[in-house]
Amino acid sequence: MGMKRLTRQRRAVLEVVQGAKGHHPDAAWVYGEVRKVVPNISLGTVYRTLEALTEEGYLVPLSRPGEAVRYEANLDGHLHLTCRKCGQFFDIVASLPDLLSEVKARYPEYDLEGVQVEYQGLCPDCKHNA
């Protein structure tokens, strides 16, 4: 992954997302936090910065229909559990078999770039309150 030099604004945005451990913030939340560090930054700049950091592999977008895209820092090797009651994402660390190579070999006409695996169920709080 080609690491570009990060400008002050970009570093501020990245650090806010990295600091929101397990929180998976959306652009509006990131904007509110980044303004504490870079007061003159605009919401549009935050959106563009999040997109650029995603394209360069620094961030992973988590999207669900009808909701704002959430972001997290790209820390390889973890998956998500989505709680079906409160809707939050939770980080889960587990090793998976190679889910890409066999399918790539079988469908050479596609340019397959990745696989997303998501666990679904109840988080401890919702399970406890059920």
Query: Whole-angstrom Cα distance, residue 104 to residue 82?
Result: 27
Identify any residues that bridge with 62 across adjacent strands, giving them in sequence order.
Answer: 70
Contact between residue 71 and residue 30 where contact means Cβ atoms under 8 Å apart: yes
Q: Is 10 annotated as a binding residue?
A: no
Q: Is 123 annotated as a binding residue?
A: yes
Q: Is 42 annotated as a binding residue?
A: no
Strand 118-121 and strand 78-83: the pairing is: parallel
Q: Where are the alpha helices (DSSP H) in 22-62?
A: 27-34, 43-55
Q: Is 38 annotated as a binding residue?
A: no
Residues contributing to the annotated binding site: 83, 86, 123, 126
Residues contributing to the annotated binding site for Zn(2+): 83, 86, 123, 126
